[in-house]
Chain A
Amino acid sequence: MPLERWRHVVPMRLRSLFHRDRMEDELAEEISYHIDERARELMAEGFSPSAARLAALRAFGGVEQRKEECRDARRVNVIEDLRRDIAYAGRMMRRSPGFTVVAVLSLALGVGANAALFSMLDALVFKKLPVTNPDRLVLVDAERGVTAAEFEKLRERADAFTNMASVWTIDRFNISTQSSPAPAAHGGADGPTRIGLVSSDYFATMGVQIATGRAFLPADDAPGHHPVAVISDAYWNQRFARTPKIAGRTFRLNGLTYDIIGVAPAGFSGEWVGMPTDIWVPFRMASLVMPEVPGGADRFPRRVLGRLRPAVSIEQARASTTVLFRQILQDEAGVSVTRESLDAIARTGVAVDPAARGYSPQRQSFSQPLAILAAGVGVLLLIACANLANLLLARSAGRQREIAVRLAIGAGRARLVRQMLTESLVLSVVGGLVGIVLALWAERILLSMVAVAPAAMTGSGGSATALNLTLAIDSRMLAFTTVVCLLAGVLFGLAPAFSASRIPLAGSLTASSARVIGGSRFGPSTLLVVSQIALSLLLLIGAGLFTRTLTNLKGEDLGFDREHDLLVWTIPGQTGRQDVAMAELWHMVQARLSALPGIVSAAATNQAVLRGFDLEPGQPSVLMVVDGEAPRPVAASGLRSFITPGFFGTLGVPILAGRDFSERDTETAPRVAILNESMARFYFGDAQHAVGRFVRFAGPASALTEIVGVAADYARGTPRGGKRTEFATYFPYRDPEALNKGAQTRLRVMLVVIRTEGDPIAVASRVRAELRTIDPELPVVRINTAEQHLDDVLGQDRLVAVLSGALGGVAVSIACLGLFGVVSYRVARRTSEIGVRLALGATKRGILGMVLAESGRLVAAGIVVGLVASFFIARLISSRLFGVAATDPLTMFSASLLLVLVAGVAAMVPARRAAAVDPLIALRSE
């Protein structure tokens, strides 16, 4: 239809819909004008006024009929009907508020859970970055990473891209601004500030226009230029209260002042989805932003982003970049290159992958818990739908007579189906609206549960196990919710609608309602109740298994004392200390904190207690050679720790043989080491035989080293991995390797373990204050108890356990509401039958038993189906479980028992009502 016509048609349709009364008035006026005119004409011909009027009306021919024909011309009958149906549905909802509340609430829970999870998945997985042309954005990565020098060459020579940029993200805890002069984050109260070290082309590559101020210029990346930064909109809001004069404001980091030159547009938080960047600074600042990484970021692989040139496909870019990168590697290798390394270069692959949805290792790390939850909320929605279908079915049976009357006076069956469907859709829309409110609330809880990653030791920047997202109601979430609501509405409305329209006319109008209903024992409503029970049993079993997994993980013996220990996570490397100065800081921290009241002892290490992930043993390799013996390769993982004396005692790890380190074990003393039990056993048979032996370690620290002690194994990765064989080696913090300048300073990260007399958290503020007096510039990442740290490490397990528990609870409540509804309804229908039974001598007990037995059969059938189904899906979740089998009989039994008990209560109410039937009244009501 041409636009010009639409200009007339659309307003007409809208007027027909929304100004119905005006249209009616105008129609009446138009017709009365016509009749008046005709009558006037006739009067002019000599008719009397009344005769003229009559003749005019007759000539017109059926005013009301004509009006109806004119209304038909409006073409909005379908919508008019819909409006009437909706009004009718509204009346029905008001008439039975109990039904409405149950229906809306159960649906809202189902829809809300799905909407909440959807917006999380959408933000993490589906949404494209808020940049221009996100589809032209790619991530470039070589198998072994791309160094700074290689990136520069790539950027200059790669012709597949219009722009290329590199990024390195790192969390900092010691940023101070004018608005918060004391390092507000000192101690992590505000959480980390995430810095993106970027090449000057970053914003152009990403396709982002700086909203306020300017982006980086190549000059900003030149040495000697004053340090500048671009901040995110969120950071501007949070730290600078959106002050309009942001350009020229400053912040301090590691003793250096940065000028803010611009603010990124709202919604843009970098290329890493789930880890929003707060501040971007030029890449050359790397060594000043993260001084604990000597040599700067040059040594590190970085994320490289490219914006494809128009008409260049990703395959073309991949091919040309691979060739180019190999050339660069060859140039680097120079002329004296060996045959093998040439071969290695020729095999080097370069990945060029679409980055429209950004970079996010979180997708991988959260995929399993989110998949489990998605399945859970899907099942919950099914339960809610089954519940509603059942309630509607019961109600439509109750409305048989009304429907029969409407059919009798000429309502079309299709029209009736439409009207019943409208009723369920109205319910689903109302449920959806409430669901969105619930979703917003659920999202906040969900996000707070995934926002924190366990404290970590490395300055490697960002974590894949925390998920920081900002969610809002957006069009995508609304679209999803609408589709879910409509599907649900049709799903639960269709069966009742058709069964209602199939009602036989004659019987329904004449027979008494009780007989018409009969007891269709295997009818759809039985099926629905059974499937609800079965599905909620599945969710209950899941909740049980995940809860037991969490309990088992928390109860796992980790091999160290976690009740009395406080952990203080710091990054002394950021203070710029090197060598002996660093070791002296460690010593001072240990000595000063040990002297605080309430503290038994303090010790420090450069490795996390519980890293949060388990190392997988790689290829067999030689970790250590016992002096005088042949090298023995072994496939074991293990890290070297540098520790202060007293570490094992403070952590509560027994020394099985030999001695602990002492302050005499310095860089000038003979080199010593302590092994853990697994390692000692592998090389020496047992702990005792290890002590006093001399070994050489692989790598640069190849000096002859004496084993002076063997410490017990303890869990170093996660409780899941437990004390799994990890070959741990400990060196004194004054070991030459620890102090070695040039290499990564081993002491750049420091975890202080503090053994307390009472509640560990009670001394936290004293510890914090003491650290500030030692060095106010020392960044403290986090202070927590070992128990809290364990909770953080188990974050995903807790997420799954808590949410599956909530889902299970909600599912059972909905299913029991359904059972309650169906049983109540059946009892009400059978009132007269029960009356007859009582009159014929049945006892109240017998009636009670009869009703309970009927519901018992439904529940039993549901449980059997649920148990059988649970065996089939058991293996899907078994990898997530710990210390409990997916088909654990105890969990299945207790879940079933719980369901029976709750269902029993739900059935008891209507059963009692049945038993309380007065036979006289029941029979008279017929």
Chain B
Amino acid sequence: MSKPSDLVQGTLDLLILKILALEPLNGFAVGNRLRQVSSDVLQVSDGSLYPALHKLEHEGWITAEWKQSENNRRAKFYALTRSGRRHLEKESANWERLSSAISALVRLEEA
């Protein structure tokens, strides 16, 4: 796996929450969406998604429900809870601050 994904590991939770904030999805779809949105920059192995999803579920940020998927199979769909949404807002704000600080720092070095 390429190096940038280390960064992703730390923020995988944030990404999953963000994706689920748009619409409830099953694990497989979350993985696909992740790759799509990041145009394959963020490489998350299929399997590592699930421990993250389960962790979020047990933390109470997301909730799961077994529903019919588009190909008529039972699949576990995850959706954001209300506190999950608040958590996402807080984490996104943190991320904004962190990333702007870092990019400012990076630009400073280049100048």
Question: What residues make up the interface of A, taking CB atoms closer than 8 Å to B?
Answer: 1-2, 4-9, 12-13, 16, 26, 29-31, 33-34, 36-38, 40, 56, 59-63, 65-66, 69-70, 72-75
Contact = CB atoms under 8 A, between A and B. Distances in A.
A484 to B, nearest CB: 35
B46 A59 contact: yes
Contacts of A75: 58
A65 B47 CA distance: 9
B51 A34 contact: no
B39 interface: no
A5 B51 CA distance: 19
Contacts of A36: 73
A407 B34 CA distance: 44
Nearest to B73: A33
Contacts of B100: none
A902 to B, nearest CB: 58
Contacts of B46: 34, 38, 56, 59-61
A29 B74 contact: yes
Interface residues of B, number: 28
Interface of B: 26-28, 31, 45-48, 50-51, 54-55, 57-61, 63, 66, 69, 71, 73-76, 81-83
Contact of A74 (B31, B54, B61): B54
A72 B57 CA distance: 12
5 interchain residue pairs of minimum CB distance: A69-B51, A8-B60, A73-B54, A5-B60, A73-B55
Contacts, number: 86
Contact of A33 (B28, B54, B57, B60): B28
A8 B81 contact: yes
Residue from B26, B46, B51, B75 whose CB has the most chain A CB atoms within 10 Å: B46
Main secondary structure of the interface of A (DSSP, over half): helix
19 contacts: A1-B60, A4-B81, A4-B83, A13-B58, A29-B76, A30-B50, A30-B76, A31-B50, A33-B26, A37-B28, A38-B28, A59-B45, A60-B46, A61-B48, A62-B47, A63-B47, A65-B47, A66-B47, A69-B54
Contact of A26 (B45, B47, B60, B76): B76
Given A12-B58, A60-B45, A66 B50 contact: yes
A5 B28 contact: no
A74 B51 contact: no
A401 to B, nearest CB: 38
Contacts of A12: 57-58, 60
A33 B67 CA distance: 12
A60 B46 CA distance: 5
B33 to A, nearest CB: 13
A4 B82 contact: yes
Contacts of A31: 50
Given A6-B60, A38-B28, A61 B83 contact: no
Contacts of A30: 27, 50, 75-76
Nearest to A34: B28
A40 to B, nearest CB: 8
Nearest to A35: B46
Contacts of B69: 33
A63 B50 CA distance: 10
Contacts of B50: 30-31, 34, 66, 69-70
A4 B61 CA distance: 10
Residue from B26, B27, B57, B58 whose CB has the most chain A CB atoms within 10 Å: B58
